[in-house]
Amino acid sequence: MKIGYHHLLNFRVQGASRSYAFGFYGENTLALVKKQKNYRVLAQIPFQLALEQMYLLSVSVFGNRILASIDGKIVFDYCNTENPYLYGQVGFTVLQGSHCHFSNLNITACHAPSVLH
């Protein structure tokens, strides 16, 4: 992170107005958000963001279940039951003048865990 507090990894992107995103969403906040024209917070936790530090963000999706982790630790295990997005693209978003660098984007097929909500 270089400047600002809004740095997001987008997934299941369906055009400019529909997607999920995970990452830094305000000063000292880590969030999972859903965009349906506007972003809506699905889950959030406090997180002390250090500018100039590298973080590993990871998202796994299985149907309507989303697992999101930072630096190998799962922070959100969320099931979206309200009009879930079940397919889409990936991308990145910065908001409110934030600047950052992303590297090592890795997309792999994964197998659903044995227990789903």
pLDDT in tens, 55-84: 999 999 999 999 999 999 999 999 999 999
Which positions of the chain have pLDDT values less than 50? 115-117
- Residue 30 buriedness (CB in 10 A; 0-12 / 13-18 / 19+): buried
Tokens of 44: 């959030």
pTM: 0.85
Fold of 6-94: Jelly Rolls (2.60.120)
Give me the sheet containing 6-13, strands edge to edge. Answer: 38-46, 29-36, 18-25, 6-13, 89-94
d(CA 75, CA 68) in angstroms, rounded, equals: 6
